Amino acid sequence: MSSEKTPGGITPKRKKQREDELHSAHSKYEVKFQDLLIFVVERKMGSSRRMFLMDLARKKGFRVADIMSDSVTHIVTENNSWNEIWDWIQIQKIPDANKLNLLDISWFTDSMGAGKPVDIEERHRLQVLQSDLPSTSLLTTVPQYACLRKSTLDNKNKIFTDVLDILAENCEFNENSGSYVTYARAASLLKSLPYPISGMNDLEGLPCIGKQIRVIIEDILEDGVCSQVESLLCDEKYKARKLFTSVFGVGVKTADKWYGLGFRTIEEVKTTEDITFTKMQRAGFLYYEDIIQSVSRAEAEAVGQMIQDIVHEYTPHAKVTLTGGFRRGKEVGHDVDFLISCHEKGNEEGLLHKTVNKLDRQGLLLFCDFVEATMEKRKLLSRNYDVMDHFQKCFLILKLDRRLVDKRDLSVASGSALSLTDEGAEHKKETKIKGWKAIRVDLVIVPAQQFAYALLGWSGSRQFERDLRRYANQEKKMWLDNHGLYDKKKQVFLQARTEEEIFAHLGLKYIEPWERNA
């Protein structure tokens, strides 16, 4: 019996041994997809990355073979052509090899992302001459400026961009602007790619991807994690900065001061008598549990309706516009930003104070900080990017009545929101009981002639705006901010009624708000 062979050259004994090994490898995970068996080719991939991918697939419920056999249905490879894999299969002497699905790593990553085997598309199959990876000619056409790229919320490289965003944030904490720019630009570029990075060859020709970034990406490709970020997430100072700056009114310098005093938790800071808090910080602590929760689109729209109703009592034709991440298509955010603009010049005078006073009389105002307009008439624009502008604005914490939020929309939005901790989930239950939730809201009064520029600036994303200003300055010799566009050559401010006209002034193709998630 031991000498008997199947037509494929595999003895029944060896086949039984392979089946036993396969069963052992899957014994600690539930198998959800019995109809397919994946074999990941190590060639051009490396053993550590192969082991990581195999373990990932098993955790997702896929069957994965450690060794090649005639039971395999899907062969997954990286950076190999159809010709190379077919020659390798012939050596294995697999029967019915023509029935095998020879697939690029993109099918694997798409399936892992979906949590189930995705339908095999033409782009997933290995091609006769080359794999379906972006060619060098395509890669070299990716522009360096985020304002020249479309970046939707469909981020196919989240595993890399999440890491780069954390590293960029830490550089901001340390006021290391050079490294911040390096990480932020690389993350922005990866977010814009219409395909997942599955191998180092995919990076060829891409701008903003230097040696430092390549090392990080290679680390993730091989091990599934970035060792640098893993260490950072365990760092006491980073954790304290992250925690303390989550309090409304607390910046990095204050967070560092509290850390230096030996504080490590919110409760320690709140209960000490050694610190004098600002009015904003006191409000931040008072409503902390509400404010750290994500705001759903349904909640943002309910706040918008509430603001608009009050504004229209005083100025019926005023425009109240939701901006920020919600305008870019996000379903959740940290706060809600609105621009308030009037068609007729002068109608906005006193409108913000009247609106806030009415909110106060209605018992909806929990905190308010006014910032009066500081823009001098025809003032030249700043050479540097500044997240703050010179409009009259106020930073609020408002009480949102849960009954104003459509329950169906809220449940959908909550399902797509970031997962809550047990403590956060418990507070969400308490919030429903008390019937209201504290929401962070920013209101900005914008003169009609500057509305298009303010809308562009307040819509974001942050990196999109940074690159838009950089492009204007370096490529067009213009200064751009939330108030206007100044042509340095002609020494004139350029008027614009819409965002499309601003893009036209800069010689750029218009990019929709939901394509600016850079």
The catalytic residue positions are: 335, 337, 442
Task: Judge contact between 11 and 4, C-beta under 8 A.
Answer: yes
Answer whether the bond into residue 461 is a cis peptide, omega within 30°.
Answer: yes
List Cα–Cα distances, 68 to 40, 73, 88, 94, in angstroms. 9, 10, 11, 9
Which pair of tokens denotes residue 320? Answer: 């109240």
213-225 as b/e: b if 16+ CB within 10 A: beebbbbbbbeee
Residue 239 half-sphere exposure, CB side, CA atoms within 13 Å? 11
Whether the CB-CB separation of 126 and 108 falls below 8 Å is answered with no
- 427: tokens are 């507070």
Closest CA to 387 of 463, 488, 474: 463
- Give CA–CA dist 171/169, Å, rounded: 5
Q: How far is 13 from 11, CA to CA, in rounded Å?
A: 5
Q: How far is CA 354 from CA 18, 68, 307, 323, 342, in A?
A: 77, 74, 11, 22, 15
- State the CB neighbour count (10 A cutoff) for residue 272: 13
- Residue pair 240/258 in contact (Cβ under 8 Å)? The answer is yes
Pairing of strands 62-65, 33-40: parallel
Are 390 and 374 a contacting pair, CB within 8 Å? yes
Query: Could you tell me whether strands 295-296 and 332-333 are parallel, antiparallel, or unpaired per DSSP bridges?
Result: antiparallel
The secondary element (H helix, E strand) that includes residue 367 is strand 365-371
Q: Cα(441)–Cα(439) distance, rounded to whole angstroms?
A: 6
